[in-house]
Chain A
Amino acid sequence: MDEIMPSSFAGATPVRVLNRDQKLLQWISSVDHKQIGTMYLLLSILFLVIGGGEALLMRTQLAIPNNHFLSPEAYNQIFTMHGTTMVFLVAMPAIFGFGNYMVPLMIGANDMAFPRLNAFSFWMTLFGGGLLYFSFLAGGAPDAGWFNYAPLNEYNYSSRPGVDYFAIGLLIAGIGSVGGAINFIVTILYYRAKGMKLNQVPLFVWMIFVDSFLILAAFPCLNAALAMIEMDRQFHAHFFNSASGGSALLWQHLFWLFGHPEVYVAMLPSFGIFSEVFQTFSRKPIFSYAIIASSSVAIALLSFGVWVHHMFAVGLGNTVNGFFGAASMLIAIPTGIKVFSWMATMYGGSIRFSIPMMFAIAFLIQFTFGGLTGVLFAIVPIDWQLTDTYFVVAHFHYMFVGGAVFGLFAGLFYWFPKITGKMLDQKLGTWFFWLFTIGFNTTFLIQHVLGLIGMPRRVWTYPDLPGYGVMNFISTLGAFMMGTAALILIVAILKSLRSGVVAGKDPWDGVTLEWYCDPQPGRKNFDKIPLVRSRRPFWDLKHPENPDWKNARS
């Protein structure tokens, strides 16, 4: 009894239907969620190459002790821009890209709720990023680190305009992020297909939904801090200058009140992508949708109560540190439940080792490893030892690269056929996976040891102490393996676009609605849409003899 209904109520009717071969102007003026999503993804890849290039420059400088390949000013600008780029201009646009492209398709809508706001958000992100990078031409990029601590960010200590570009650029990009988040929330609330309840949306959509609230709550704290630092720098106010009564710690509180939620903003969409990937390639429903979905809300709420774990060493006292250590450890509970749920999804399945699935499996192990080092930091006395060393750098690259970026790669391989109509080259993809994974672990596993033997982070060079040179060199080798892998990825994308295998509508035997609409859907996504009655609507269509809505599954 699967009615296929006209989709007129499943979203706005399109303004006009564009033809496929669009010219540049049509891209620029586009308000179509798929085109904007694609532009976000391209922006993200562009900045991944730039930020990765900066990482390679850093690793080159650090390959040997007492190196003079980069000057200290250059190195500091580069690591600051690397961190800022990767967090704000790679992770965020990638999330918004996949979200924009996939959320309407997965909930059976024809577009986002506010198409013009959507375009506005994209261009704000682009302009913010452009402004950040313009600083290289305008007297020096920001060089106070991605968290830009006061009072180093004050005019007395950073008289170049770099920090101003940092503040204004991130404010503008932040406005874009907030606009995008509002758009996602309204879209998911109002544009779901007939019958799809809010507790039935695909997990990726749910994660984007939670993520959007996280963005709405976290970014204003950063915006307030950035506004204050500009007040200080331009109008001689005294927020963060302790000499005139300000407080250096206020900046840290405000930044991390944003910063810790931000790392989960980067992580949650990848959780969503992996949830889709695990259930598709295990050919089984996800294990305990309820747990995965509600634990992500727990993570979102908890993430606002743990920011002091970045400030354990500033001397707030044992009481404050102890409570925040406890809160930070608590996050391991909802996260651990997720990891176990994904393992339980694979258990008893019939696992197809496609490239997205390989990324997902590598992610599980790497994320557990990075999570355990995170819990290690939550043990306050150990954090006193390890904070601000390469051990921290290793922890968060295991999370950001081995967690979030692996998720984005998995999403790229998983949805590439939907976006372009072609499969992303399997052979090159396998090369890319192994090179990147091995390179990644080579780079960052050894950095844990570097931290343990006493190497602080953010040093432009280091003395020739025993072991430092060798390990840094190994780390640099790994980084160049990742660089090679990234080149292979770019080649693979170009090759697949030109001469890839034509994918068809449903290459992975998917279970959610984005595989129901055409490959490379036109201006209007759905002409017809099935009545949604379960969490796997496309499965129900394919298996009328055993649909989900007859047998409750999770």
Chain B
Amino acid sequence: MHSLITYWHLDILMVGFLISICLAYYLLGGFVENKKLKLFMAGYVLLILSIASPLHFLGENYLMSAHMTSHVILILLAAPLLVLGIPDNGDKNMTRFSAWLSKHPWLPWMSGVCVMWFWHIPVVFNRLFLPGSPVVGAAGGIPVLSDLHLISLVLTGILFSWPVVGPVRQQRLPTVQAVLYLSAACIFCSVLGLMITFAPLGIYTHYEHITDRFGFLPMIRGDHGISALIDQQVAGLIMWIPGCLIYLTASVWLLMKWFKEKNNQTFLTSHKTEL
């Protein structure tokens, strides 16, 4: 049994995914503008942290709360940062895509929210960890389902953030709409968090009957006193309160920018434009 810090892990599929993200970034004209690159790198580091680090190891094997923490990081921090990192190089397709998404904001919204809900349906959730789908850290085999789950979360997270922080500034959602968009997502995340928080034991079974293959269980249950119920509550609450806080911070940030706009306007602009 080594120290927790040493449990890093990547499998072939995830390596491929990480590389293809870099590739996509390159194709979208990345690696040029310094400020944007920094944002992208920040997102990328968070992405690696939540899919390869000991946090992920804990989330796969021991703690639902760690699993949820990595979800929150993936969807709410890494994905928006990756999107923020994409430069606006005036590409026509990019503009058209952004405009189309902003015209149908319910599409990215539904994809983000539904995919997140889907992976937390107890049947699906418990299936993620069944022996049939090998667990990260076990010898051999690619945990396909688990990887798919991460990849889908990142991709829908990117799609979800696009109308709010997408590269083409003119095609982002108007502020009030963006705030409603984020708040509505926040509500549905909250409902999910609430359901998990107040669920009894026996629903998300994976974390209740842990096969202690790495010997960390006594430390978790004993030294830190994290029982299965507390773990599940923390998991729900992390989705709920810090999760919501991120949506909220984003909303307030957008509003601050909007209210601080220079309000000098040319004569006779239509006053309905920002609706």
Contacts and interface: CB of A to CB of B under 8 A. Distances in A.
User: Are A and B a genuine interacting pair, yes or no?
Assistant: yes
Interface of A: 1, 189-190, 192-200, 289-291, 293-295, 297-298, 301-302, 304-305, 317, 319-320, 323-324, 326-327, 330, 531, 533-535, 549-550, 552
Contacts of B264: 533, 549-550, 552
Contact of A326 (B175, B229, B241, B255): B241
Interface stretch (B81-89, B116-124, B199-207, B232-240): B232-240
Given A320-B237, A330-B245, A533-B265, A199 B251 contact: no
Contacts of B272: 190
Contact of A192 (B183, B197, B268, B271): B271
Interface in B34-88: none
A260 to B, nearest CB: 14
Contacts of A290: 255-256, 259-260
Chain A to chain B: the 6 pairs with minimum beta-carbon distance, closest first? A290-B259, A294-B255, A323-B237, A319-B233, A290-B260, A301-B248
Interface in B193-243: 197, 229-230, 233-234, 237, 240-241
12 contacts: A190-B272, A192-B271, A194-B268, A195-B269, A196-B271, A198-B274, A298-B252, A301-B183, A304-B187, A326-B241, A327-B241, A330-B245
B275 interface: yes
A375 B187 CA distance: 24
Contacts of B230: 317, 319
Given A301-B248, A304-B190, A197 B259 contact: no
Given A301-B183, A317-B229, 17 more contacts: A189-B275, A190-B275, A195-B269, A197-B263, A197-B271, A199-B261, A293-B259, A294-B255, A302-B248, A323-B237, A323-B240, A323-B241, A326-B241, A533-B263, A534-B263, A535-B263, A552-B262
A294 B237 contact: no
Contact of B244 (A189, A196, A197, A301): A301
B263 A549 contact: yes
A297 B263 contact: no
B153 interface: no
A57 B172 CA distance: 58
A199 B244 contact: no
A297 B262 contact: no
B263 A552 contact: yes
Interface of B: 175-176, 179, 183, 186-187, 190, 197, 229-230, 233-234, 237, 240-241, 244-245, 247-248, 251-252, 255-256, 258-265, 267-269, 271-272, 274-275
A24 to B, nearest CB: 39
Contacts of B234: 319
Contact of B259 (A199, A302, A304, A317): A199
A301 B251 contact: yes
A291 B230 CA distance: 37
Contact of B271 (A194, A330, A535): A194
A396 B90 CA distance: 55
B275 A305 contact: no
Most buried by A among B176, B233, B247, B263: B263
Nearest to B234: A319
Contact of B190 (A189, A305, A531, A550): A305
Contacts of B269: 195
A497 B190 CA distance: 51
Q: B interface, by DSSP: helix, strand, loop or mixed? A: helix
A294 B263 contact: no
A311 to B, nearest CB: 12
Contacts of B190: 304-305
A120 B245 CA distance: 38
Contacts of A301: 183, 186, 244, 247-248, 251
A305 B259 CA distance: 25
A294 B252 contact: yes
Contacts of A198: 176, 274-275
Given A305-B244, A552-B263, A552-B264, A294 B233 contact: no
Contacts of A193: 271
A72 to B, nearest CB: 35
A534 B267 CA distance: 12
A326 B240 CA distance: 12
Contacts of B258: 199
Contacts of A533: 263-265
A198 B273 CA distance: 10
Contacts of B176: 198
Nearest to A250: B198
A305 B271 contact: no
A479 to B, nearest CB: 39
B255 A297 contact: yes
Nearest to A298: B252
B184 to A, nearest CB: 10
Contacts of B260: 290
Nearest to A551: B264
B121 to A, nearest CB: 23
A339 B247 CA distance: 24
A192 to B, nearest CB: 6
A474 B73 CA distance: 55
B263 A295 contact: no
Nearest to B255: A294
A193 B271 CA distance: 8
Nearest to B257: A290
Contacts of A323: 237, 240-241
B268 to A, nearest CB: 8
A320 B262 CA distance: 43
Best-surrounded residue of A193, A195, A317 (most CB of chain B within 10 A): A195
Most chain A beta-carbon contacts within 10 A, residue among B187, B251, B264, B271: B271
Contacts of B263: 197, 199-200, 533-535, 549, 552
Given A195-B269, A197-B271, A200-B263, A293 B248 contact: no
A305 B252 contact: no
